[in-house]
């Protein structure tokens, strides 16, 4: 495989310099519209459209939504495929486009997807020629560009251990919560469930205080002091959004906490940010 390194599609055109059986493009879309990333139907429609706009011949598509959120999908084209996995909690989508031949307009496909996803930052992470053809017309056998025995961990726990952290701060925003879920009584019940999931006992009863902001709307602020940290945040009635910050002086699984909250509050999707305290 021949890669040309990481670049932005806005800085230089996408080009392939080698004679090859296939072309492979990987794209990172950041700061996307999380509501779109969580919508299976919208994702399928916009990827099918991007494939058609690029000049591909669409055969079929299959997109699947995960619980509590996330979308994976593939558009099968005569030339090969468009594929995606989306993380609404990080406003991020990973895309790969593979084609046989040179009939697809990669640049147009990438820009169309950026606009449709509402992405404010697009990075072309790899531009690859697959199945290189030598001057005599035979297939070249490529050597690995990297040591494949080295594995990169995706575990939050290993990340926590590798940076020698002493605590974690996890921010979870849960969107489109039904208004009936956002009451002081229900919030107290949710906080109790969260404490059990975190295996951290409350030091005192939680405190919930109503507020009214002419610009940002009305809602409730809440605080729960734990034996190893705190849970603080607020919910906004007008936006139907629950904002929660969880801090513990030890490791805990961020996604487990986020998934408990979206399930308990019947939200449609959530966003997640994690910070290690060192």
> What are the residue numbers of the active site?
80, 85, 100
Peptide bond into 68 cis (omega under 30): yes
Name the H helices within 118-174.
156-162
**Rg (the chain; Cα; Å):** 23
Provide the token pair at 210: 């109503």
The answer for residues whose C-beta is within 8 angstroms of residue 12's C-beta and 6 or more apart is none
> What DSSP string describes 186-244?
HHHHHHHHHHHHHT--BSS--EEEEEEETTTEEEEEEEEEETTEEEEEEEETTTTEEEE
Its sign, for the CA torsion 43, 46, 52, 53, is negative
Neighbours of 171 (CB within 10 A): 17
How far is the CA of 42 from the CAs of 46, 71, 116, 117, 276, in angstroms? 6, 10, 9, 10, 34
Distance, CA of 107 to CA of 149 (rounded, Å): 34
Spatial separation of the C-alpha atoms in residues 218 and 241, rounded to whole Å: 11
Structural tokens at position 8: 């932005």
**CA–CA gap between residue 130 and residue 142 (Å, rounded):** 10
* Overall residue count recorded for the chain in this entry: 278
């Amino acid at each position: 495989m021949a890669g040309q390194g990481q670049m932005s599609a806005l800085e230089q055109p996408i080009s392939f310099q080698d004679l090859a059986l296939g072309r492979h493009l990987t794209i990172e879309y950041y700061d996307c519209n999380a509501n779109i990333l969580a919508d299976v139907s919208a994702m399928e429609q916009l990827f099918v459209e991007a494939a058609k706009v690029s000049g591909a011949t669409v055969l079929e598509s299959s997109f699947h939504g995960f619980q509590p959120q996330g979308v994976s999908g593939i558009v099968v084209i005569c030339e090969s495929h468009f594929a995606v996995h989306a993380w609404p909690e990080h406003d991020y989508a990973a895309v790969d486009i593979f084609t046989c031949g040179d009939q697809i307009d990669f640049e147009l496909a990438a820009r169309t997807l950026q606009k449709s996803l509402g992405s404010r930052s697009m990075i072309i992470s790899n531009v690859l020629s697959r199945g290189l053809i030598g001057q005599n017309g035979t297939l070249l056998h490529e050597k690995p560009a990297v040591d494949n025995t080295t594995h990169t961990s995706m575990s939050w726990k290993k990340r926590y251990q590798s940076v020698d952290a002493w605590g974690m701060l996890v921010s979870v925003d849960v969107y489109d919560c039904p208004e009936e879920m956002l009451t002081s009584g229900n919030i107290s019940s949710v906080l109790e469930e969260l404490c059990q999931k975190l295996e951290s006992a409350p030091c005192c009863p939680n405190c919930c205080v109503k507020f009214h902001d002419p610009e940002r709307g009305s809602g409730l602020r809440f605080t729960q002091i734990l034996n190893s940290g705190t849970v603080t945040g607020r919910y906004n009635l007008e936006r139907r959004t629950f904002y929660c910050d969880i801090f513990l002086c030890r490791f805990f699984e961020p996604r487990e906490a986020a998934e408990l909250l979206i399930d308990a509050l019947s939200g449609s999707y959530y966003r997640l940010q994690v910070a290690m305290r060192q």
